[in-house]
Structures are given as structure tokens and as C-alpha cells.
């Protein structure tokens, strides 16, 4: 946990339940089964971003059991749709069941397979893209994600601080985690310095980067 535990516990105590009982049950079951769905405070940040941005089209990389898609769809404008990608068969099955349970088959499209391949095959323009998948791959998603993101579109990337490891020297993290550490640092450096993006990195949950696609930045930046 990268934020003080007492503060986190207090903030979580203020979070209200969703109006739809089925959504609360899907969240509860996912947490009980240790499915790595968005942390409660990250979920609230997502809600706020969706309410502010009012995205008609959302792309999600990393559906797990469909919770964050179902949650974001609750706050999209009427008629808003989501395309979400998942490669794990067990989770795909659960996501399909959850989408069906909430009667969201018309709003949420689940694409099955590896996002690296699927992103390359996608066309269209998305108002908000949420990356919540294998952390070592974010840097490899970026080119396609930027192609698919609308001008003034929002890119939200979750788990970017890796339990705080990202702020430590590569020599202070376990040897087996060093490749992910380097790739995530490369990703954060790239989105902070990209000429088409304005990015802020927040220590919410496990770290969330919020990037706005601004087009070419002024030379002075
Ligand atoms: C953190 S979970 C997603 C949680 C979900 N967004 C939520 O909050 O409800 C990450 C998911 O991404 C999937 N994943 C990781 N890398 C992927 C890839 N390259 N292509 C497709 N799915 C991937 C994993 O199988 C896992 O279920």
C-alpha cells in the first residue's frame, strides 16, 4: 500500500454502495476471490473521470471479470459503449456471465485474446482508454492506444507505482522484478514527455496516471 493505511481505511469508509445490488455483488465476489479489480479509491477516481469526460466510447485493456467496465458504464452518458479486452479464459467466462447478469451485452463488448494483437487490429476512436493489464506491457500498448485515442481523449493507466517500487532504485527491487520496473519507468517517462500528451501521476490506489491527448505541445514545453 503506497498511501498511509489509516487514511486509506478512512477514505474507504466514506465510499457509498452502488445503487445496483448486482454490481455490489460482482465487486464483493471478485474481491473475495482475490481477482485484482480496481482498488476502491481508484474506482471512485474512474467514476469522477467518466462523469467529467462523459465518454460515449471507452476502450479498456484488462477486463478481468468485467467489474470496472460494468462500473464505468453505469456513469457513461445514455448510449455509451465499452470495448474491453481479456486473455485469461477463466476470467473471460466470468466476465461474460457478469455482463449478461447485468443485461449489458449491448453496451459492453468483450474481445478475447492478447491485447498486444487485438489493439493492432482495432479501428475507431475512443474518448477514454483505461489500461489495467500486465504492467510490463503498458509501454508496448502505447503506440496503438494513442492511435485509437480521440483528440482531447483521456488515457488512464492503473497500477503505475507498483507498490512504491517504481520510486526505488532498480537495485533495491527484487532481481525478478527489474524488467517490469524498467518498462514501467520507460512508460511513465514516455507519457510525461510525449508531445501529444499532458500527464499527471497520482498516488491513488497503486498509482494512476491520467493523460490528456492534447496534440503537439507548444515548443516552450
Ligand atoms: C488488474 S486486472 C483487470 C481488472 C479490471 N480492470 C477491473 O478493475 O475490474 C488485469 C487483467 O488483465 C489481463 N491481461 C493482462 N495482460 C493482458 C494482455 N496482454 N491482453 C489481455 N488481457 C491481459 C489479466 O488476465 C487480468 O485479468
**Parallel, antiparallel, or unpaired for β 208-213 and 149-158?**
antiparallel
Q: Is the CB of 88 under 6 A from ligand 1?
A: yes
Sheet holding 208-213, edge to edge: 108-112, 81-86, 57-61, 126-131, 149-158, 208-213, 197-202
Per-residue model confidence (pLDDT) at position 220: 47
Query: Which ranges constitute the DSSP H helices of 76-220?
Result: 89-101, 115-121, 138-148, 178-193
Question: Which DSSP category does 178 fall into?
Answer: H
Q: Is the CB of 213 under 6 A from ligand 1?
A: no
Q: Is the CB of 127 under 6 A from ligand 1?
A: no
C-alpha cell at 149: 485515442
C-alpha cell at 77: 452518458
74 burial (CB, 10 Å; 0-12 / 13-18 / 19+) is middle
Q: Are the C-beta atoms of residues 209 and 201 closer than 8 Å to each other?
A: yes
Atom of ligand 1 nearest to the CA of 60: 6
How far is C-alpha 57 from the geometric centre of its chain's CA atoms? 14
Tens digits of per-residue pLDDT, 92-124?
Answer: 999 999 999 999 999 999 999 999 999 999 999
The pLDDT averaged over each successive group of 10 residues in the chain (221 residues) is: 88 93 97 97 97 98 98 98 98 98 98 98 97 97 98 97 86 85 95 97 96 73 48
Per-residue model confidence (pLDDT) at position 165: 84
Give the global pTM: 0.95
Per-residue model confidence (pLDDT) at position 216: 67
Amino acid at each position: 500500500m503506497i498511501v498511509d493505511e489509516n487514511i486509506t481505511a478512512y477514505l474507504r469508509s466514506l465510499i457509498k454502495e452502488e445503487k445496483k445490488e448486482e454490481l455490489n455483488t460482482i465487486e464483493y465476489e471478485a474481491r473475495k476471490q482475490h481477482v485484482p479489480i480496481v482498488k476502491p479509491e481508484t474506482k471512485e477516481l474512474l467514476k469522477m473521470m467518466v462523469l467529467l469526460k462523459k465518454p460515449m466510447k471507452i476502450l479498456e485493456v484488462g477486463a478481468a471479470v468485467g467489474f470496472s467496465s460494468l462500473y464505468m458504464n453505469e456513469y457513461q452518458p445514455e448510449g455509451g459503449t465499452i470495448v474491453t479486452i481479456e486473455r485469461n479464459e477463466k476470467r473471460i467466462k466470468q466476465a461474460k456471465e457478469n455482463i449478461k447478469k447485468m443485461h449489458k451485452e449491448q453496451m459492453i463488448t468483450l474481445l478475447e485474446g492478447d491485447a498486444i494483437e487485438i489493439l493492432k487490429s482495432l479501428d475507431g476512436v475512443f474518448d477514454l482508454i483505461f489500461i489495467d493489464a500486465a504492467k510490463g506491457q503498458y509501454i508496448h500498448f502505447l503506440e496503438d492506444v494513442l492511435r485509437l485515442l480521440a483528440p482531447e481523449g483521456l488515457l488512464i493507466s492503473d497500477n503505475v507505482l507498483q507498490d512504491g517500487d517504481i520510486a526505488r532504485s532498480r537495485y533495491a527491487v527484487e532481481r525478478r522484478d527489474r524488467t517490469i520496473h524498467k518498462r514501467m519507468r520507460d512508460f511513465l517517462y514516455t507519457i510525461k514527455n510525449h508531445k501529444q500528451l499532458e500527464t499527471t501521476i497520482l498516488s491513488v490506489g497503486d498509482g494512476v496516471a491520467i493523460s490528456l491527448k492534447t496534440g503537439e505541445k507548444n515548443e516552450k514545453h
